[in-house]
Structures are given as C-alpha cells and as structure tokens.
Structure 1
C-alpha cells in the first residue's frame, strides 16, 4: 500500500526528498492550494479534482510508492510569480493542482486531473517503468 506524507511548503518538500528520494524509490508529488480549518482549499480547481485524485491514488498507484501531498500555501503566496520556488525548476509549476512523478516525465495538471483515464495512464506508465527498475518500498 502506498505511504502518504503531508508536506507544508517548499523547504519541507526539499527536506523530504533529501531523506526519501533513493534509487528505485517511486515518489508521486501532488501540489495543491492551502486548506482552511474545514479542510477546504482556496483553490477551486483543487477542490474539483480532490476526490478523483484520492481515488486514483488508492486504485492505481504502485503499492510501494510514496505520495507527497504538498500544500503550496495561500493564494497570495501561490500567485507570487517572482519568489514562489514551486514555479522554478525542478518543479516548474504553472498551475495547481499538479501531480508529478519525481524524476520522471509524467505530469498532469488542472482539468487533466478530473479524467480517470488520464490518471490511470499516469500511474500505469510509472508502474511499467518501475517493473523494470525493481521499485523498492520507500521509507
């Protein structure tokens, strides 16, 4: 079963990757807008895809994978195109929500995350590649 790791902000993500990003460790990173005390994101697109993405994690992700769910901050922080480090490499986010496979080419963003068939393909591609790479349990 995949392991979930909630992440708050850029620094915490960088620290988590230093610890967990090892050879043959499959990491998915899901970026979304900060949630309020009721669990509701300020980002309407994030709210719209949340159920579909969570279902895809449960049904399609590799059993040995690690899933980072990354809070990119409030609306003001996200809209800052100069100092927002999530908008710069290696993440190069243009929009949220965004789902990437760490050290892979797979990326889905925005309305793509509403489409179950695209999510299935996203995870299948990582599973196919990891089968040849001997994916290990991420700790």
Structure 2
C-alpha cells in the first residue's frame, strides 16, 4: 500500500513542519535529498540512484499509516556548506545525502548507497 507523502523544501520549513507531521502517524520516515530541477532530477547523483529503490521498497510497500517526508536540503552549494543547518542540527546529524531516518526511532537510518540495497531497505521497513 502506498504511504502518505509530504514534501518539504529547506531547513526552515523542515523545522516548522516536522513536529506537527510526526504527530500524524506512528511511523514517520524522513528522506533527505538534493534539490530537483525542472526535469525532476536532483543535482545529487546518489539521490537519483536511490529514489527508485526507496519508492519500490518503502513508499509503495509501507503500512497505510506510514508517513514519508521528503526533504529538499537545497542546491549543491547550499548542501556542501559545512555550516549547513541540516548538518548542524542535533536531530538530523546529516553528513551524507540521501539519508533516510525513521523520525520515531532516530537510530534507525540508512545513508548514501545503503538506500540502493533492497535487503537493507527490507530490514529498515520490516514491521515489528
């Protein structure tokens, strides 16, 4: 079943929205990814590679009460800035994109090329 998907652009919108969104579902997964252009492709090749895997093994097969929050971390220069707010935020601790975090269990996360491995995604999305 397809989960509900919310899209957020930038750190300020993320901070303003995540608390409210996290209250709407028991299972909240946050995917941090690079900004997409008008063709729908991100400047981040790893994000483009991971997208079909996350869709197939996560969004399309998630429990109906799941929420996916897709967060655009900005363009390449914004992301590469070591003082980028997403990198400094103690709740996200991002050092790599794409990163997928279960907001309810922040220790549950996949980063980079881990998001292109079906077996890791299956374990991540395995329902207790």
Identify if the C-alpha distance between structure 1 residues 122 and 37 changes in structure 2 by more than 3 Å, giving closer, same or farther: same
- The separation in 2 between residues aligned to 1:98 and 1:22, in whole angstroms, is 21
- Point out where structure 1 has 5 or more consecutive residues left out of the alignment: 129-139
Matched-pair contact (CA < 8 Å) for 1:35–1:42: yes
- The separation in 1 between residues aligned to 2:24 and 2:77, in whole angstroms, is 36
Structure 2 match to 1:108: 110
Figure out how many residues of one structure are paired with residues of the other and give that number.
125
Identify if the C-alpha distance between structure 1 residues 65 and 87 changes in structure 2 by more than 3 Å, giving closer, same or farther: same
Identify if the C-alpha distance between structure 1 residues 44 and 23 changes in structure 2 by more than 3 Å, giving closer, same or farther: closer
RMSD (Å), alpha carbons: 1.5
- The separation in 1 between residues aligned to 2:116 and 2:93, in whole angstroms, is 21
SS of the aligned residue for 2:94 comes to coil
Structure number with larger C-alpha Rg = 1
- The separation in 2 between residues aligned to 1:41 and 1:52, in whole angstroms, is 15
Matched-pair contact (CA < 8 Å) for 1:33–1:96: yes
- The separation in 2 between residues aligned to 1:62 and 1:14, in whole angstroms, is 25
Matched-pair contact (CA < 8 Å) for 1:56–1:119: yes
Question: Which stretch shows the higher mean deviation, 54-63 or 107-116?
Answer: 54-63
Structure 1 match to 2:82: 81
Structure 1 match to 2:35: 34
Identify if the C-alpha distance between structure 1 residues 79 and 117 changes in structure 2 by more than 3 Å, giving closer, same or farther: same
Q: Which structure has the highest helix share of the two?
A: 1
Structure 2 match to 1:64: 65
| Poorly superposed stretches of 4+, deviation over 4 Å | none
